[in-house]
Amino acid sequence: MTKAIYAQVIKEKTNGSLTMDAVIDLIEKPKFKEQGDLAFPCFALAKTMRKAPQKIAQELAVKIEHPLFEKVVADGPYVNCFLDKQTVSKQIVDAVLTAGSAYGSRSFGEGCSIAIDFSSPNIAKPFSMGHLRSTVIGNSLARIAEKCGYSAIRINYLGDWGTQFGKLIVAYQLWGSEEKVKEAPIKELLALYVKFHKEAEKDPGLNEAGRLWFKKLEEGNEEAQELWKWFRDESLQEFSKIYELLGVDFDSTAGEAFYNDKMENVLDLLNDQNLLAPSQGAEVVDLTEYRMPPLLAKKSDGATLYATRDLAAALYRQEQYRFSKAWYVVGYEQTLHFQQLFLVLQKMGFKWAQEMVHIPFGFVLKNGKKMSTRKGEVVLLEEVLAEAIRLAEKNITKKNPSLANKQEVAENVAVGAVIFHDLKNDRQNNVEFSLEDMLKFEGTTGPYVQYTHARACSILRKSAKEIGTESSRGLADEASWPVAKLLMEFPVVIEKSFHENEPSAIAKYVIELAQEFNKYYAQVKILADDGEQESRLALVKAVTVVLAEGLRLLGIKAPDEM
């Protein structure tokens, strides 16, 4: 808001030497607060104006004035602006209180849709901490996209097909018990899967048996089909409990198996466009022009592959949803696959393929190592959430024993802690699993932000006043100013997190806002009965609105009491 006004004035006073976008991009935050609120470096003007940047800064500073600016000064080659605290803080607080949870919304995505492929766990395997990243990053990106005006189509592309199902059928036939599977489906199926791989090390013939049973499944063998469907149904039931706890839902759960009858069409299309080439008995799409290995579309035994299935899925989704963009929230190890996939779709003449993006992320590590389902080295998300809820309830009982809805708040805090621990990290970094760190009420954690929101709500309850836009006359004190300035930045942070596919921008922002608010709370008697009480309360209410909305965009609840 103020940045755009400052940029407009600079553009006018420099006779349009730079475009508005160029000026906005150059404006920065001064290193020290004593230097002002906004700084414009004059280096880019030196060439056209044929003057030293310091000289330009001196001449420009005296020309700039606006009701929102308290003063503008030259500081070396910079033109530094000090905003009028009272006027600007009133404008910011009014904007937040008028818009409510809609504050920060952008409209550039209106009328467009984004298909977001995320979570995508494998059937008959547990939902581990390793699956958490795709799930919470994808869920947050969907919310951020909606905040920017897009319609988000949430797709859970389940791993419900492949040789592993042949292996699981063999394992179940050799060592399985129907009773045990019904009692604890995922736990038992995982145990069978792990046992299969251990035994296959001693008896390689088991791998061949697994391949044969998968072939039977592909051919529609009744016994194989029944077992596969049973494994799938049991898994989905277990997954749905976790998704409910995480507050994640989907518009589509069409997995890999859904595309079995759609792949011949893809091969026909590739054939019609002369894009298929023979290679050692298999059929590939050549990508030499892009300095990339070929995309394998059909194996020598006639079987289609993961890539063929993904081509079919992309075509189906475009036909079904007419998406403007498609995002795939999938780990780093699939980078080459998606580069090939998008290029092949472009070679097929689909312009919309240029709007397809792979959004990779780092691993969840345990003791510095990647988790492995095959070796049974996993931390189950269900167990993590159950333990987190137990610990959160213990913490809440200690801090606030009379809290009415203790169980609900414990759930909100525990789930929020697990999600926040992931999303506060840059998406591309690895995350070390630590339940203890997640649940701390201090530091850069979800409970810290939630507790700050609850504290601000408690102040408003104590005041027992109706606070609206008419309450604030603006604040000019040094303690409230950092809070007001941060509130002003929220729309910019949302836009940044969308364009960079980076929920951590919002997580870092709510931490900073919570920290500044707690400093303010420690320095100022908010409920002191004086002429500025209502203005202070309006600022507090604005903080509750933005913290709650920031947490919501991350997929986290904001309790009013803790």
Closest CA to 344 of 311, 298, 302: 311
Which pTM was predicted? Answer: 0.92
| CB crowding 216-238: b at 16 or more within 10 Å, else e | bbbeeeeebeebbebbbebbbeb
Model confidence at 421, pLDDT cuts 50, 70, 90, reads: very high
Average pLDDT, stretch 158-167? 92
What's the Cα-to-Cα distance from 250 to each of 139, 154, 161, 394, 465, rounded to whole Å?
9, 5, 20, 33, 40
The reported pLDDT for the residue numbered 377 is 58
Model confidence at 129, pLDDT cuts 50, 70, 90, reads: confident
Using the predicted structure, report yes or no on whether residue 270 has a pLDDT greater than 70. yes
The reported pLDDT for the residue numbered 520 is 98
The reported pLDDT for the residue numbered 443 is 86
Yes or no: say if 161 and 272 are a contact pair by the CB < 8 Å rule.
no
Task: Please tell me the distance from the alpha carbon of residue 412 to that of residue 399, in angstroms, as a whole number.
Answer: 16
Domain with CATH 1.10.730.10 in the chain: 381-554
Average pLDDT, stretch 208-213? 93
What's the Cα-to-Cα distance from 433 to each of 241, 421, 511, 554, rounded to whole Å?
22, 9, 20, 19
The reported pLDDT for the residue numbered 335 is 96
The reported pLDDT for the residue numbered 373 is 54
Task: Please tell me the distance from the alpha carbon of residue 467 to that of residue 461, in angstroms, as a whole number.
Answer: 11
The reported pLDDT for the residue numbered 201 is 93
Closest CA to 78 of 98, 55, 100: 55
Using the predicted structure, report yes or no on whether residue 376 has a pLDDT greater than 70. no
What contacts 415, CB < 8 A, 6 or more positions away? 245, 246, 247, 385, 388, 389, 556, 557
Tell me the per-residue pLDDT of 41-82, one tens digit each, with 9 for 90 and over: 999 999 889 999 999 999 999 999 999 999 999 999 999 999
Yes or no: say if 310 and 359 are a contact pair by the CB < 8 Å rule.
no
* Residue corresponding to tokens 């045990």: 180
The reported pLDDT for the residue numbered 53 is 96
Q: 3-state secondary structure string, 308-365?
A: HHHHHHHHHHHHHHCCCEEEECCCHHHHHHHHHHHHHHHHCCCHHHHHEEECCCCCEE
Average pLDDT, stretch 461-488? 93
381-554: which CATH architecture?
Orthogonal Bundle (1.10)
Task: Please tell me the distance from the alpha carbon of residue 503 to that of residue 140, in angstroms, as a whole number.
Answer: 6
Task: Please tell me the distance from the alpha carbon of residue 47 to that of residue 448, in angstroms, as a whole number.
Answer: 49
Domain with CATH 3.30.1360.70 in the chain: 2-83
Q: For residue 436, give the H/E element and its range.
A: helix 435-438
Which percentage of the chain shows pLDDT scores above 90? Answer: 79
Secondary structure class of 305 (helix, strand, coil): coil
* Tokens linked to 59: 């001449």
Sheet of 38-41, strands arranged across: 38-41, 78-83, 69-75
Using the predicted structure, report yes or no on whether residue 375 has a pLDDT greater than 60. no
The reported pLDDT for the residue numbered 378 is 63
Phi, then psi, of 378 in degrees rounded to 5 = -130, 155
Using the predicted structure, report yes or no on whether residue 371 has a pLDDT greater than 70. no
Strand partners, 153: 115
Using the predicted structure, report yes or no on whether residue 303 has a pLDDT greater than 70. no
486: number of Cβ within 10 Å: 21
* Residue corresponding to tokens 């930045």: 489
Task: Please tell me the distance from the alpha carbon of residue 135 to that of residue 180, in angstroms, as a whole number.
Answer: 28
What's the Cα-to-Cα distance from 204 to each of 209, 213, 414, rounded to whole Å?
9, 15, 44
What contacts 190, CB < 8 A, 6 or more positions away? 124, 125, 126, 373, 376, 378
Find out if CATH 1.10.10.10 is the number for domain 2-83: no
